[in-house]
Amino acid sequence: MNGTSKTCFKGLLPRLTRPGPAAFSAWARPAGGRGLPLKQEEEAVAVLLVSLSALTVFLALYVFRSFDDNRLTSWQWTVSETQVWPMFLVLLTGILLAHVLSGITLPRRWTVAALFAASFMTAGIFWREPEVIIDAGRYFTQAKHLALFGVGSFVMEWGRAIPVWTDLPLVPFLYGLVFSIFGEDRTAVQVLTTLFFSGTVVLTYAIGRTLWNETVGVIAGVLLLGMPYLLIQVPLMLVDVPTMFFLTLAVFATIVALGRGGKAWLALASVTIGLSLLTKYSAWVMLSVLAVVFLVHLIERGWVIVGRAGAIMGVSGLLIAPAVLWKYGVFAEQIKLLVDYQAPGLQRWGESHLSTFFFQIHPFVTVAALGSVAVAVVRKDLRFLIVCWVVLLLMVLEVRRIRYVIPALPMLALMAAYGMRQLRNARIVRHLVACTVISALVTATFGYLPFLSGTSAVNLKDAGAYLSSIGGQSVEVIVLAQARSSVNPAAAVPILDLHTDKDIVIAGTSPDLAPPDSIGTSPVRFTWETPSPLYPKAAPAAPTDAAALAVISDGRGGPLPEPVRRRIAELKRISEFAVSDRVFRYKTIVTIYRPHETAGGRVSIMR
């Protein structure tokens, strides 16, 4: 490094962080914008530092991957010795692309459309992953009930004929509406969850712009793509991403309603708060941020805010009260279960903050968020309390499971954006954000996605597609006991149903199928206590026109129970879906049997 370069490097950080104009829009103004201008050599050195940091962080995460204790996508499993160098080369190419992208600007009027389209297309990459979390079966059966029996039956039977565990009704209700319109199509559900994700990206941008400026909003929206764990959650039929959307919408609507007033905004805030309360119980705790929103506006604008806040609270209370009163017994039982079982269980099933905030979320996001706290304290910025409240609350409550953190991720992105904007040069900020997102995409696309697609959960997806391709209206299913897992093997049936258009009939289970003694404190206890009433059982001696019989097992290769052997004695084994992994104890190996055809072409299963 020559003398000129040394001088340039020595003075670069103070020049980047020196106070300057607060407002410039990343990807929306020419490079440099109103930010602090740097000499060409200084800017090149800064770009090089960011690029080298992104590469170094990736290698560091790989070297220390044994510290990642995530239960689904730990780097210990998802980034192997054979993957790391190809992924590194892809990342290197991506960083070169990031340098090109950091020089591109878009008109400000395109910001919302660009954020929505980019996030939707990014999430679409992961649609091919299987349903790897068995909780999806609960939401599927609740949605299927609505599709089969209508909205009225869903409302009446929720918590009665519809087993609900600790689930709230809004998200399964929306999934059921999708099934009612488009049929039991997983792609339609994935479109809906991706719309929720893209909507959250836009809302995060809107919150940042409203509280501060365009810069913070754009950076925060883009940084939601810098969280690899979040990306692989978007296509799954769960409630976490929809909860994130409704919570973010409630926060944004409340900020605007308190700031501007107006009947429309007050009504929207009230409705979205009510909807958020019906998504997930953890959202009830996170909605405490609305009290912070009120206090900040009260300090800034005075007592005029009290009337607006009272209107929001009153209307949202009137909206949610009938549901609570009508289903009070159900809610009371669920809360008791949360207190007695779920809360203590989280201490046993938890994941470390190191895993969540450095491996599953890109470290650039976490470091920027941490730095933003110091900046906000120095500036005495009360508005920062709004975006940091939920994150700090989760830390204080010691929530150590990343799935429970997902609804708070937009606020973490806003904290990081607030910190990153201290680098006053727009080109450097754009490059930093682009490197963050590309690093996360490389991790999720070339690490997480191949790993998840190589778990035994993919067998249900592939078997479902195969069953849909053959003739006949129904499929009989037999589930066998799992030797190494506490999961009720019947939990696989709704997920198989999600992947096929055939009607499912339960043909039998293992004679020794029973919950283990430790199930009372197990995280999969719900698989034994929420049976689905939607799958009829086949009559033992009745003829059937089923297209096939599917046996779901753990593939350990032992002798089949005698009733199963008798059942398949006259059938032909035609296919087996036996992808297996060495990580998860719960396996779903699917073997397909088809009946012999009679002379008249009628299909029958001989017993």
| Per-residue pLDDT tens digits for 400-454 | 999 999 999 999 999 999 999 988 788 899 999 999 999 999 999 999 999 999 9
Per-residue pLDDT at 602 exceeds 60: no
Please tell me which of 31-35, 476-480, 511-515 the model is most confident about, judged by mean pLDDT.
476-480
The whole-number pLDDT of residue 2 equals: 52
Greatest C-alpha distance within the chain? 91
Per-residue pLDDT at 9 exceeds 70: no
Each residue's pLDDT tens digit, 209-228: 999 999 999 999 999 999 99
Cα separation of the two ends of the chain: 82
The whole-number pLDDT of residue 28 equals: 34
Check: CB of residue 269 under 8 Å from CB of residue 113.
Answer: no
45 token code pair? 């050195």
Per-residue pLDDT at 7 exceeds 70: no
Per-residue pLDDT at 510 exceeds 70: yes
pLDDT greater at residue 232 or residue 346: 232
Per-residue pLDDT at 582 exceeds 70: yes
- Cβ density class 560-595: b for 16+ within 10 Å, e for less: bbeebeebbeebeeebebebeeeebebbbbbbbbbb
117 token code pair? 């389209």
The C-alpha atoms of residue 226 and residue 55 are separated, in whole angstroms, by 15
Q: For the residues 366-391, what does the mean pLDDT come to?
A: 97
- Under the banding of pLDDT at 50, 70 and 90, the label for residue 174 is very high
Q: What percent of the chain has pLDDT over 90?
A: 75
Per-residue pLDDT at 300 exceeds 60: yes
The single-letter DSSP state of residue 11 is T
The whole-number pLDDT of residue 539 equals: 61
The C-alpha atoms of residue 514 and residue 558 are separated, in whole angstroms, by 18
The whole-number pLDDT of residue 601 equals: 41
- Calculate the alpha carbon distances from 282 to 285, 334, 340, 399 in Å: 5, 12, 15, 10
The C-alpha atoms of residue 452 and residue 437 are separated, in whole angstroms, by 21
- Under the banding of pLDDT at 50, 70 and 90, the label for residue 316 is very high
Per-residue pLDDT at 168 exceeds 50: yes
Q: For the residues 514-535, what does the mean pLDDT come to?
A: 87
- Calculate the alpha carbon distances from 287 to 242, 387, 555 in Å: 15, 12, 45
Q: What percent of the chain has pLDDT over 70?
A: 91
Q: For the residues 98-118, what does the mean pLDDT come to?
A: 89
- Cβ density class 400-424: b for 16+ within 10 Å, e for less: bbbbbbbbbbbbbbbbbbbbbbbbb
**Pick from 39-48, 55-64, 355-364: least confident:** 39-48
pLDDT greater at residue 558 or residue 25: 558
The whole-number pLDDT of residue 83 equals: 94
The whole-number pLDDT of residue 38 equals: 65
**Pick from 278-282, 315-319, 539-543, 562-566: least confident:** 539-543
**Pick from 36-45, 59-68, 596-605: least confident:** 596-605
Check: CB of residue 29 under 8 Å from CB of residue 220.
Answer: no
The whole-number pLDDT of residue 53 equals: 97
Per-residue pLDDT at 457 exceeds 60: yes
Check: CB of residue 74 under 8 Å from CB of residue 65.
Answer: yes
Per-residue pLDDT at 24 exceeds 60: no
Dihedral pair phi/psi, residue 27, rounded to 5°: 65, 15
The C-alpha atoms of residue 243 and residue 170 are separated, in whole angstroms, by 9
Per-residue pLDDT at 511 exceeds 50: yes
Dihedral pair phi/psi, residue 575, rounded to 5°: -160, 150
The residues with which 573 forms a beta bridge, in sequence order, are: 593
Dihedral pair phi/psi, residue 3, rounded to 5°: -60, -40
Per-residue pLDDT at 73 exceeds 70: yes
| Identity at 337, one-letter amino acid code | L
Helix/strand/coil for 238? coil
Its pTM stands at 0.92
Per-residue pLDDT at 90 exceeds 90: yes
Q: For the residues 112-119, what does the mean pLDDT come to?
A: 97
Mean per-residue pLDDT of the chain: 89
* Domain locations in the chain as residue ranges: 457-594
